Amino acid sequence: MSILNVMWSGGSAFASVHKVHRQILAQVDPGTPVNTWLLKGDVRGCSADIGQSREWHLSSAQLKGKHVWTLLKPWLQRRFYQALKGTDVQVVLLDGLGTARALLPVLKKLPQLRAVVLFHGETRIKAADRTLLRQLPPAQLTVAAVSQTLANSLERDLQVPVVTLRSALDPTDFRSRLLSRDQARARLQLPVDDTPVVGAVGRLVGNKGFACLIEAFAKALEQRPQMHLVIVGEGQARTALQEQISRLGLRDRISMPGHLDDAATLYRAFDWVAIPSLEEGLGLILQEAVLAGVPVLTSELAVFREQLAQAGWYATTEDPNAWSAALIQAFDVAPGQVAEDQSAVLSPGGTWQEFCQAARSLLSCRQ
């Protein structure tokens, strides 16, 4: 018996999704083979190489059935069916709704296979999606989400039960990879001194809120002129963000080093980590920062309160004035104590054990 991990795409933009799947699949019995399908892209630039990987090299139009591909969807589904028929696959882990739309019609014809659809964030639900998810019996299909907040939202929209699998990281393994403060600052070409540094990590896209953070940082510099901001990540909003930085005259105060494969090792370069997202399914950056002993300042989202409760530091979403005030206040307190309080609430060790047990149950071949 084996498990098939089906990912929408490879590439650095999907690195956090692949990281979550790797953590989940690491919990299966050592003797259970796990292989991966990449529907788009290839394994370069991402951590998708779980077991043997098959690259399908499909386009979004093909997968979504757009234009002429509407007529050719049966052809594509036959390809998937032939690739699965006669294999020893028993459980198929599907990355989100797009992947589910492509594969569930095929799995309906293979009732011996059990499907787990894992949602990583909010998504636009159509009436056809509700119909699709109801076509497979509960014994064959499990819908799961990476946080309780997301699970509650999906249950309302999909009108099907949703299991919570709150993603977590192995604290011992994660901390063992961290660079020291001086090493991390040298890697990011930052001053190896007491310069106050705010870090942010994520794709450079609108819903990550980096434009708001940059504006807030500019305002905060009026009272904290020594601060430096580092935004680690890559994406389509880079040009707009760089233009904003230039317009504000902050090129010597804000660094944008791009996507870094070792970003998860660099948190100790920062005094605070800012997460100004407009929406998140979980926000793995929050967990990584807390594990590294760095306090986090987040936007006012329910999913962040789910994890940090009263120990969190929150600023109103998309409000530069609120974020500026929060940044100024952050450097009036001892960050070490805030980090300890946040770690106590997040409870990384206990959260990791709960995650491991839930992942093993979700992917069990004996259900």
Query: Residue 327, class by beta-carbon neighbours within 10 Å (0-12 exposed, 13-18 middle, 19+ buried)?
Result: buried
What pLDDT, in 10s, does the model give residues 3-47?
999 999 987 778 889 889 999 999 988 888 999 999 998 876 555
Taking residues 106-113, what's their average pLDDT? 95
Residue 7 · residue 95 · CB < 8 Å: yes
Q: What is the pLDDT of residue 62?
A: 86
Q: What is the pLDDT of residue 29?
A: 86
- State the pLDDT confidence band at 48, using cuts at 50, 70 and 90: very low
CA distance 105 to 272: 46
In this structure, what token pair is assigned to residue 242? 């760089």
In this structure, what token pair is assigned to residue 352? 């990791």
Q: What distances in angstroms separate CA 236 from CA 79, 93, 260, one per listed residue?
A: 33, 29, 16
Mean pLDDT of the chain: 93
End-to-end CA distance of the chain: 13
In this structure, what token pair is assigned to residue 120? 């990583």
| C-alpha 36, offset from chain centre | 18
If one compares 282 and 69, the residue with the highest pLDDT of the two is: 282
- Cα angle for residues 263, 186, 47 (degrees, 5° grid): 20
- The answer, yes or no, to whether residue 241 has pLDDT greater than 80, is yes
Q: What is the pLDDT of residue 46?
A: 58
What pLDDT, in 10s, does the model give residues 291-311?
999 999 999 999 999 999 999
CA distance 105 to 100: 8
* Percent of the chain whose predicted confidence (pLDDT) is above 70: 97
In this structure, what token pair is assigned to residue 228? 């430096």
Q: What distances in angstroms separate CA 254 from CA 4, 205, 210, 225, 320, one per listed residue?
A: 42, 17, 12, 12, 16
CA distance 24 to 352: 11
Query: Residue 32, class by beta-carbon neighbours within 10 Å (0-12 exposed, 13-18 middle, 19+ buried)?
Result: middle
CA distance 116 to 99: 11
Q: Which domains does the chain have, with CATH numbers?
A: 2-165 (3.40.50.2000), 171-346 (3.40.50.2000)
Taking residues 94-105, what's their average pLDDT? 95
Q: What is the pLDDT of residue 328?
A: 97
